[in-house]
Chain A
Amino acid sequence: MSSLKQLQQKSIRKKQVYKPILDNPYTDESHNWPYVEEQQLVAELVKTHVIEVFKHAPEALELYFGFNSVVEFLQGASYDTTAFLFVCNADAVPRVLLAQIPILARVSQCDVVLVPLPRGFISQFDACTSQEHNGMLLAVQNADFDMQFASQIHRRVGHVTQQPWLKFTESRIGVLASEMTINRKPAKGDLPSSGC
């Protein structure tokens, strides 16, 4: 007569094991992406002051859509330029592209304000342009740019660690859940499972 617990124990085939793994010290979310206060309001501001303006008058703003254009601009930008980089990091944007963005923003010579947008905002980009945008849009703060909008964004977007490589950070060690088969030796009384 065996209990339910004992029957369950007999049915165990695998055991959960944890394998230690070392993570990149610079890929911490809090280091890379700034915290945005009132994200919905910021999204609404971007929609009205950038997306809608671009729809009606594409020449009014200096905008760059897509990874290649953004990288090209940031590479050649001068010291006195300020740019706003809006990224849909909560949407279905490939992680390999997103991993590049915060480092690009830091390494660039110009002043880049990184603005992560809320989930679902990528549809606004889709409606706005037909070209490939990869969930990122760069707006250059030039003479035609709305200064009120720029100050609103500056006020609500937090600052990230500008140069994390100058400060030593503790190792980010994690454990990864995995499974391992349990090799059980057959008991003396047990019948062999196979054989004739």
Chain B
Amino acid sequence: MAGRSGKKESKQNAKQGKGSKINDKGVLLVPPPKSIPNKDHMQRLNYLFQLSTFHTMVGAQDKSQALSRMYMKNLDLIQKKTKTALTPGMKRQICKECHRVQIPWRTVTSFIANESKKKTTQNQVLVLTCQCGSSKRFPFGRNREYRTHVEKDNLVYMQK
């Protein structure tokens, strides 16, 4: 029995690698992967995002931004279908209602609102109102140093 369990442990060690490290919380630390599965989905999403932004910026005459919104709608559908993760910085640039790219003055108006009676800085909210009428509110007053999980230096870029 002891021989079998010893073999098992040695197999486990070989799987985890000789240079594996374990931190104080009992987490096995692994180096980042060299390749990513389903990279083509991400490249497709990136292309659609840039295409949508291009059509919003260049086609200033088109007030409805139909083509741009169609590309963004496609992006949203593919992202959901393939369960691809997007950073908050990317998601914040897409209107959830009409799928417009959020670009100041072209599609969105931004201002800081303070609805408290005493106008304390804690109650400041950044309001982004899209052309369709929907608005996103970011209450930044309470924690001015707030960073999203991606911005906290734990994102490793694979390629540029």
Does A96 contact B12, Cβ atoms closer than 8 Å? no
Within 8 A of B (CB), among A53-73: 66-68, 71
Tally of chain B residues near chain A (CB < 8 A): 65
Main SS class of interface, A: mixed
Does B87 contact A22, Cβ atoms closer than 8 Å? yes
Query: Which B residue sits closest to A176, measured CB to CB?
Result: B155
Query: Which A residue sits closest to B33, measured CB to CB?
Result: A18
In the assembled complex, the CB of A6 is this many whole angstroms from the nearest CB of chain B, namely: 6
Name A177's contact: one of B1, B86, B148, B156 (CB within 8 Å). Answer: B156
Does A17 contact B30, Cβ atoms closer than 8 Å? yes
Does B45 interact with chain A (Cβ within 8 Å)?
Answer: yes
Does A172 contact B104, Cβ atoms closer than 8 Å? no
In the assembled complex, the CB of A160 is this many whole angstroms from the nearest CB of chain B, namely: 16
Does A90 interact with chain B (Cβ within 8 Å)?
Answer: no
Does A174 interact with chain B (Cβ within 8 Å)?
Answer: yes
Within 8 A of A (CB), among B2-55: 5, 8-9, 12-13, 16, 22, 25-30, 32-33, 36-39, 42-43, 45-47, 49-50, 53-54
Interface of B with A (CB < 8 Å)?
Answer: 1, 5, 8-9, 12-13, 16, 22, 25-30, 32-33, 36-39, 42-43, 45-47, 49-50, 53-54, 57-58, 84-87, 89-90, 92-93, 103-106, 110-112, 121, 126, 138, 140, 144-151, 154-160
